[in-house]
Amino acid sequence: MGGWAGRAGQVGRRGYTLIELVVVVGIIIVMTLAALPFFTSMMKSSRLDAATRQLAGDVREARSKATQTGWQYQIKGFNVGGGSSYKNQYRMLGRSSSGVAWPSDTGPNIQSSTQLAGPWINLNQLYSGVRLNSSIAGTSFYVSFDSRGVAFEWSPTSDPWMTLTQQSSGSRYLRITSAGSVKIQ
């Protein structure tokens, strides 16, 4: 008999009431809304850091290729405020010697025995909201490396050489020394 009486109290209690479910869902919604600005800011900052690392890596790759191949390599791009259809994009160019012209800035991708024009890196597509050199008046930027890995020419209008920004996430700066090293600040 004791077993039956103990079970009788549990018969009516099989789930949660509607009020309990509404309270739990309400708490989850409030916590999500409170955390949303933090996650949004964290995502923007993460995209800015990733874009900066990508650009720094590509500059380092151009320098490395110059020392490995004996060619001259250049990172060439267009600022976000420029009038070019390639704004907020950059690419790697190469030439076998200073006696050979650089490939066309906006020409097709090529790889010949004397020239190289790599694919465009579009920051708008890869890292939404990241802007390249938004405060520089010129339309383009570049840095070139000789066969020793030394930066021998760069955009005269850019100091620091490159600025990547994202609204509410700040800015990151890429500086190239004349010796060719890349520093992220």
Q: CATH number of the domain that 95 lies in? A: 3.55.40.10
Per the structure, the complete domain to which residue 114 belongs is given by: 16-184
* pLDDT tens-digit map of 66-85: 999 999 999 998 888 777 88
pLDDT digits (tens, 9 = 90+) for 7-43: 555 556 678 899 999 999 999 999 988 888 877 777 8
Q: Domain for residue 2, yes or no? A: no
Whole-model pTM: value is: 0.79
Tokens of residue 170, six digits: 């700040």
The chain-wide mean pLDDT, for the chain, equals 86
Each residue of 97-154: pLDDT tens digit? 999 999 998 999 999 999 999 999 998 899 998 988 877 767 888 999 999 999 998 8
131 domain-assigned: yes
Residue 1 within a domain: no
Q: Tell me, what's the pLDDT at 14?
A: 78
CA distance 23 to 117: 60
Q: How far is CA 97 from CA 76, 91, 127, 175, in A?
A: 17, 19, 34, 25
Within a domain: 3: no
**Is 134 within a domain?**
yes
- How many structural domains does the chain have? 1
Looking from the CA of 158 toward its CB, the CA atoms found within 13 Å total 28
Question: Is 8 inside any structural domain?
Answer: no
Is 161 exposed, middle or buried (CB count within 10 Å of its CB: 0-12, 13-18, 19+)?
Answer: buried
